[in-house]
Amino acid sequence: MTKVHKLRECKIYKDRAKMEGLKLNCDKAEGAFDRIIEDYKVVAPKRIAGKGRFSDMDLVSYDMVESLSDIVFNDRTYFSAKSVFFPIRETMFNYDKGCVEDARIEEKLTIIFLRACDINAINIFDTMFLKNGGYQDCYYKRRRESVKIFLLECPRPFADCFCASMGTNKTDNYSVFIRKEENGYAIRINDEAFMKYFSEGAKAKVEPHFIEDDLGALNIPDSIDCSLFRNKMWEEYSQRCIACGRCNTSCPTCTCFTVQDITIEDNMQKSERWRIWSSCQVKNFSLLAGDHDFRILKGDRMRYKVLHKIIDFRKTFGFNMCVGCGRCDQVCPEYIGMAKCIKKINEICIADREEKL
């Protein structure tokens, strides 16, 4: 039996007064969490010891958690949570002697703990896969439908993040908000499906705190002049970028993938179709037949990425594709900054405009 879950199935209370706020001590909160994980798989920021890129460093990343105490509340994750609903490698369907069957996936509902920027990033994914050209991507949709969102708040901005500038600092698209406090947890329930797990605890007013100001505020240009394509600013990135692709793989809004048909056990009658993440910064992304490549220079690849995030996507869908989470800045081994690049573009646009006047 396939369960059918509707998108944003959670019944968000219209009447804000009805929203339940609670304070629970650690034991009671863990008790509620134990009941939740009987029904849901929970994915949240977790410290994975010794798995950092460099020796003797931990990796903070999204992973399955079995207790609230496993969750890292105060650190940004290295990777975003997108692999939960957009796996790095995904078998779409199997082909066997003329029969095509969609690959089966786990049915269990999944809760993801996300910050406001990352929740807004899911909106970008939904737009790309479900509201793009009148066609819905069924492989995305079925995974997305099983996702419930729990909100994590940001007590302060992280280094290099700029969600307030991107307008992605706030959200009410979440089922439950959980804040870790000194002697327990503060909880706010927005989705009545989760009321039953929180039968204990003292009523309290619980409001998530959202970042109001970025450490470095940015202006996003409304439009650009085509002359920006040939601007010298991109040359710097050709020198500095090493085309490693970490900015793409850590980004909560990069959606590019490539598709491959692969045969199983050398049996040409049997095969499967995969999709696999792709990165506009690594080699061969824009390689065509006859060895033609549109973007050999790394500066060209950077321009393609940045302008897609802040200009081209908006032309089609009306809002920006970057949520300002700052991960691409943090993971770049060459200290190339998205915020810095946007700033430069804005300065060039202002100078152009003044020149024309």
Q: For binding to other proteins (CB under 8 A), which residues are involved?
A: 50-56, 59, 61, 78-79, 87-89, 244-246, 248-249, 260, 262, 274, 276-279, 282-283
Of the candidates 47, 67, 41, which has an alpha carbon nearest to the alpha carbon of residue 59?
47
To the nearest whole angstrom, how small is the minimum distance from the Cβ of residue 339 to other proteins? Answer: 20
To the nearest whole angstrom, how small is the minimum distance from the Cβ of residue 44 to other proteins? Answer: 17
To the nearest whole angstrom, how small is the minimum distance from the Cβ of residue 166 to other proteins? Answer: 23
3-state secondary structure labels for all residues of 121-166: HHHHHHHHHHCECCECCHHHHHHHCCEEEEECCCCCCCCCCCHHHH
Identity of the residue, 219 or 260, whose beta carbon is nearer to other proteins in the bound complex: 260
To the nearest whole angstrom, how small is the minimum distance from the Cβ of residue 115 to other proteins? Answer: 20
Identity of the residue, 246 or 303, whose beta carbon is nearer to other proteins in the bound complex: 246
For the chain, percent helix, then strand, then coil, each to nearest 5? 35, 25, 45
Identity of the residue, 268 or 357, whose beta carbon is nearer to other proteins in the bound complex: 268
Identity of the residue, 55 or 227, whose beta carbon is nearer to other proteins in the bound complex: 55
Identity of the residue, 12 or 244, whose beta carbon is nearer to other proteins in the bound complex: 244
To the nearest whole angstrom, how small is the minimum distance from the Cβ of residue 326 to other proteins? Answer: 17
Identity of the residue, 25 or 278, whose beta carbon is nearer to other proteins in the bound complex: 278
Identity of the residue, 51 or 131, whose beta carbon is nearer to other proteins in the bound complex: 51
CA distances from 93 to 23, 100, 223, 261, 351 (A): 46, 7, 41, 10, 52
DSSP reduced 3-state for 113: strand
* Contact between 286 and 295 (Cβ < 8 Å): yes
To the nearest whole angstrom, how small is the minimum distance from the Cβ of residue 279 to other proteins? Answer: 6
Identity of the residue, 235 or 334, whose beta carbon is nearer to other proteins in the bound complex: 334
To the nearest whole angstrom, how small is the minimum distance from the Cβ of residue 337 to other proteins? Answer: 18
Instruction: Copy the structure tokens of residue 223.
Output: 């439009």
Q: DSSP secondary-structure letter at 287?
A: B
CA distances from 328 to 36, 70, 136, 166, 318 (A): 33, 25, 28, 15, 23
Cβ partners under 8 Å of residue 184, min gap 6 = 23, 24, 25, 26, 28, 29
To the nearest whole angstrom, how small is the minimum distance from the Cβ of residue 51 to other proteins? Answer: 5
Dmax (CA) of the chain: 68
CA dihedral angle for residue 246, residue 248, residue 249, residue 250, rounded to 10 degrees? 80
DSSP reduced 3-state for 188: strand
